[in-house]
Amino acid sequence: MSEATATRSVPRRARRVAGRTRRALGLVRSRRDARLAFGGGTLVYLLVYMVASGALSVGRAVGFDVVVASDPLSKLLARTGPASFEPLALVDLGLARVLLAPGDLLLGATLAALVGANLALTYLAVVQPAACGIDTGAGVLAAVPALLSGTACCGPVVLLAVGVTASGALVSLFAWLVPLGALSLLASLAYVAGKIAV
Amino acid sequence: MKRTSAEPLGIDDPICVPHVDDEPGYGDLVARSLGDRIEGVSVDCETSAAAALETLDAGRVDCIVSDYQMPGWTAWRSSSAFASATPTSRSCSSRARGAMAMGRRPRDRAERRCRARGAHEPRRAFQVRMVLSGMEPISRRSVLAATASLAAGGLAGCLDSSDGGTSTRGGGTTGGDGATASGGSEPSTTPTDVGLPTRDTPFHVPDSAKRLRENVVGGGPGKDGIPSVDDPQFEPVRDVGDRINPGMPVFGVEVDDEAKAYPQYVLVWHEIANDVVGGVPLAVTYCPLTGTAMAFERGDVEFGVSGKLVNSNLVMYDRATDSRWPQVVGTAIEGDFQGASLRQVPTTWTTWKRWKVANPDGLVLTEDTGSVRNYGRDPYGDYNPTRGYYESTNFLFAPIRESDRLEPKAVVHGVRSSDGAFAASEAVLRRQRVAAGTAGSLDVVMVYDPAFAAGVAYANPDGASVEADGDRYRVDGGERVAAGDLSLQRLPSFDAMFFAWYAFYPDSEFVLEDGDATSPSEVRAR
């Protein structure tokens, strides 16, 4: 294959992968069991992300209350960390306390939807494989970097738990966890989509 | 009238400042702001890249204030154009929110920086308060030095007033070499200019500012990612109820008979409260990672959390000049105030129960901080009982130096003077009740206050004897008085984790074991 042909084939391949992924996601929409896998995966990941980022805490009796930050609109885009945003409201729901930061919710929901999609496609790849003997663990592993990013709100305190002394470079890495996590989720989505008989 | 670059600046020559921004209104505001403060400044407003280049090519430019991103114009282009137009000049830069100013400064530092970075180095954002705070008329000699910062300050103020009060969050960055944005070696702003009280003689700091700057690391959150409490609300001690657990740590400050307590469970989320106690504006600060609670006089200035750490200690910044102040040393290591030390006010780290008994008419900081946080959940651990980070021997960030003379997180009570430091183990002080030593040339005596379970330090230049008598003390055999009422000059001492104290003050005189707790007479006899 000439260089020109090889160069032209890259965007063509990308379009093919995108189309295949789109069709696979369409299959998720059309199958109830796949929709359940998507919904369940999304919800569970979102809850775990909120706990990891401190947006959700459960267990302490806090009553029922709503507290709104002063001048909330000015805080809409204010960040508390590399991948966390200033909460605008606090909602106490008996045994759960939720800090509502629109930025965190949007980020968490996006990542959760990617995880849910990965889970749904992985399920389809098991029940409707294009070929036998595939590795379907990629989607789950891809979710880990994004999950760790949720702990970056108060500095890399998670490193204390594992006894690792941080360095400037390591702290900087936390700023990349979300985009890296999102990219890896997208990549695994495309990979697993190729394993489904659409 | 434009001068050529080769001609020196005459006393009557106008100071030429092109303002480049596609929003013409900003140029008018900058022109008015500078015109009010400096004689003979001439601001030309250019709203396009082409016009800006034409102005730079046409004649002498002393300082340029520029939007750093508009059609056909970027920070790099502005830097290059300015450098080309003024080849004999030395450029520095200062960036305000969305804009930058470039002026003259020593060639070698600016050029070294430009070459290394390939573009101007963004500097700190200045507040319009600096411009409008009633600065004295500036002499023509210093006007070039001040122009860059004043221009940036005026522009920042215009942008701040137009977007409604977000001026103190998220603006600007700081260069790493500590050079100021003013020309030559003269700072453009002094503490007096902005109403910040500082010590006549700075605190002793063993490491150079450069060394400390080199060890500054990002802690995770960005500037003001940990928001200070700028409008703290209080309630009377008697109204607190069960909001605060009796064993919870609080930091107490007393000034002129007004006593205020700042609960650790609130301040752990904010680290700084800009408050007024007894009519004195104070920044009450707390760093969870080094276990230090300290109060400083702040005058007309507010302090914020920079998001940086050195020796795991909070690096504060002042909102007047963005100078950087590590909390433990209380001395600026970067910015216009580099080398100056803040005036510290004694703070008592005690428990809520003890503070409440001693100050029933006092006030306590509430959770109404303007921010929403999960107060009651400490992101680092717990103090009641001690758990997590506060108990472990792990550091989040390695300090400059370490010592194994004491457990890293063991508490010491320390004090520093202008030429030394002294610290005693809190456990030893509790057992021995009195510890004497020297902080450089200053004789110091520390006593343990059973009422607060805290140390108190005094200057003892005459070597008066201090002895415990029950839960009180006698000075030179005089009447029994409480630990906080000795007839000696009280010093602003504070608790710290040993690793942090040692990292900053390795040359301290230490009392770390029971046998070390000398008496004042033994100190005098040395």
| Other residues' Cβ atoms within 10 Å of the Cβ of residue A18 | 12
Average pLDDT over residues A60-70: 88
**Listed range (A43-47, A79-83, B5-9, B182-186) with the worst mean pLDDT:** B182-186
Hey, is the C-beta of A116 within 8 angstroms of any chain B C-beta? no
Tens of pLDDT, residue by residue over A106-163, are: 988 998 898 888 888 888 877 776 655 555 555 555 556 555 554 443 345 556 555 5
* Predicted local confidence at residue A21, as pLDDT: 83
Q: Nearest residue of A to residue B227 by CA position? A: A80
CA distance B232 to B364: 10
Cα–Cα nearest to A81, from A14, A158, A183, A139: A158
Q: Of B352 and A41, which is predicted with more confidence?
A: B352
Give the CATH number of domain B15-185; options: 1.10.3470, 3.40.50, 1.10.8, 1.20.144: 3.40.50
Hey, is the C-beta of B389 within 8 angstroms of any chain A C-beta? yes
Give residue limits of the domains in chain A.
Answer: 3-52+101-193
B13 Cα distance to chain centroid: 38
**Are B314 and B208 in contact, with CB atoms under 8 Å apart?**
no
CA distance B112 to B90: 11
- With a cut of 70, list the residues of chain B below it in pLDDT: 1-12, 24-26, 35-39, 59-60, 68-69, 71-188, 517-521, 523-526
CA distance B421 to B426: 16
Contacts of B397 in chain A (CB under 8 A): 165-167
* Predicted local confidence at residue B87, as pLDDT: 59
**Listed range (A44-48, A131-135, A184-188, B416-420) with the worst mean pLDDT:** A131-135
The minimum CA-CA distance between A132 and chain B, rounded to whole Å, is 45
Of A70, A82, A97, the CB nearest to B220: A82
Give the count of Cβ contacts less than 8 A between chain A and B: 98
**Distances in Å between the alpha carbon of B48 and those of B45, B51, B69?**
9, 5, 11
- Which tokens go with B515? 């046998």
* Predicted local confidence at residue A140, as pLDDT: 56
Contacts of A99 in chain B (CB under 8 A): 372-374
Q: What is the DSSP string of B300-321?
A: T--EEEEEEEETTEEEEEETTT
**Are A103 and A77 in contact, with CB atoms under 8 Å apart?**
yes
Q: The dihedral of CA A109, A110, A116, A117: what is its sign?
A: positive
Q: What is the DSSP letter of B459?
A: E
Give residue limits of the domains in chain B.
Answer: 15-185, 209-388, 411-525
How does residue A7 score in pLDDT terms, banded at 50, 70 and 90?
A: low
Restricting to A residues 131-150, those with a Cβ less than 8 Å away from any Cβ of B are: none
CA distance B78 to B12: 27
Contacts of A57 in chain B (CB under 8 A): 374, 377
Residues 6+ positions from B5 with CB-CB distance below 8 Å:
B60, B85, B86, B87, B88, B89
- Which tokens go with B105? 């400064």
* Predicted local confidence at residue A179, as pLDDT: 80
The minimum CA-CA distance between A180 and chain B, rounded to whole Å, is 17
Of B225, B394, B395, the CB nearest to A81: B225
Hey, is the C-beta of A152 within 8 angstroms of any chain B C-beta? yes
AA identity, residue B298: R
ipTM: 0.78
- Kindly determine whether residue B372 and residue A88, on different chains, have CB atoms separated by under 8 Å: yes
Mutation site for B-interface testing, chosen from A57, A68, A86 by largest number of B Cβ within 10 Å: A86
Cα–Cα nearest to B14, from B43, B56, B57: B43
CA distance B209 to B393: 28
Hey, is the C-beta of B219 within 8 angstroms of any chain A C-beta? yes
Contacts of B219 in chain A (CB under 8 A): 155, 171
Q: The dihedral of CA B1, B6, B9, B10: what is its sign?
A: negative
The minimum CA-CA distance between B150 and chain A, rounded to whole Å, is 26
- Kindly determine whether residue B165 and residue A155, on different chains, have CB atoms separated by under 8 Å: no
- Kindly determine whether residue A157 and residue B392, on different chains, have CB atoms separated by under 8 Å: no
- Kindly determine whether residue B225 and residue A99, on different chains, have CB atoms separated by under 8 Å: no
In degrees, to the nearest 5, what angle opens at C-alpha A162 toward C-alphas A157 and A167?
60
- Kindly determine whether residue A81 and residue B220, on different chains, have CB atoms separated by under 8 Å: yes
- Which tokens go with B467? 């002895």
**Are B33 and B131 in contact, with CB atoms under 8 Å apart?**
yes
Write down the pTM of the prediction: 0.70
Q: Of A12 and B57, which is predicted with more confidence?
A: A12
- The tokens 């230090």 sit on which residue? B292
